[in-house]
Structure 1
């Protein structure tokens, strides 16, 4: 099975990745995660200025094992994410703060299409793997270590934040005619009553491999 309803995936990334419970505890005020500025957003319906240039040839399918984002000090293993009994995308265990997941019924990072990686912004103890995702900038590098021994190198085209009720399913999850990557976590405003109110999404495309 290589497809799932966009709304189902979006619903999980909006809800299950967004706890914010550590912000509710007693003690000193806690800062919320950094959010992308307007300067890091894409333009029009594409994924960012120059997004169609510099693309590398697609790689053969291979499951990913690890993701590295040097610009925000991420170096984390990847686990496969399937579907819940309700038909939604599952998420990594929240207790492991340095773990991300990829949608294993979809495109593998590096092959033609849109690969999806998701991870928590925080857990009950504090910041988690993608806490600083909103601070990433266009042109930054993302590396995905694959099981066949290759490393897929992606360049960030845009970093955007969306309200939960305005999440652009087609833009984020839609098919692509080249190797692309989406990295998703929670973001936007934070309320003690409802938690995080949106999602940060990184758009990237394959620019090399080794």
Structure 2
């Protein structure tokens, strides 16, 4: 059984092989079919990334509702929540580097959780995400986080089918895709129910077409949802 205390302490968990392997080829095809150039999005996107519009696809929606993912999200948010957004992102060769940053909660710490769904193998060569475990809840007296300081960052690595679930306040960043190897991901957002009204106000700007009225209840983190192969990052 997963250590719930450690999940909250680190602010993240890497769910190894959470996606059924037979889904991966379809998800990659859906990603590639949904790619749109920067100027076709309501808000222009970074030119060193591919961005895919795919939130209406049934298989994508199924991934967002996988029980291990919902269990981890519910544990981190701690109240009723909803699936707010999903889109595809992939760093191009020579692109993808980001400075360390936080995506930030909205009304209270922990009301926003993200998930990165890996459709290709990922690691230092193709720009896998860097994170700073435990950085989502700094001590009150701690100095402001230096986003230029990489000394505590960890670069995640693994195989297609893994899912990284993390608190939006966790310090993280994309990395340079030096090898040019493909690293397609789904970026998924989950919000506490209290954020629904503000969520509705920005649907168009975020190119959200899917229905977002479904609600999920936080559930206990049990072996059936988060198995021993899933590890909060060291």
Q: Judge same fold: TM > 0.5, yes or no.
A: no
User: Please, what TM-score do these two structures have when normalized by structure 2?
Assistant: 0.29
Structure with more strand by fraction: 1
Larger Rg: 2
Structure with more helix by fraction: 2
User: Please, what TM-score do these two structures have when normalized by structure 1?
Assistant: 0.32
Q: Which has the higher contact order (CA 8 A, sep 6+)?
A: 2
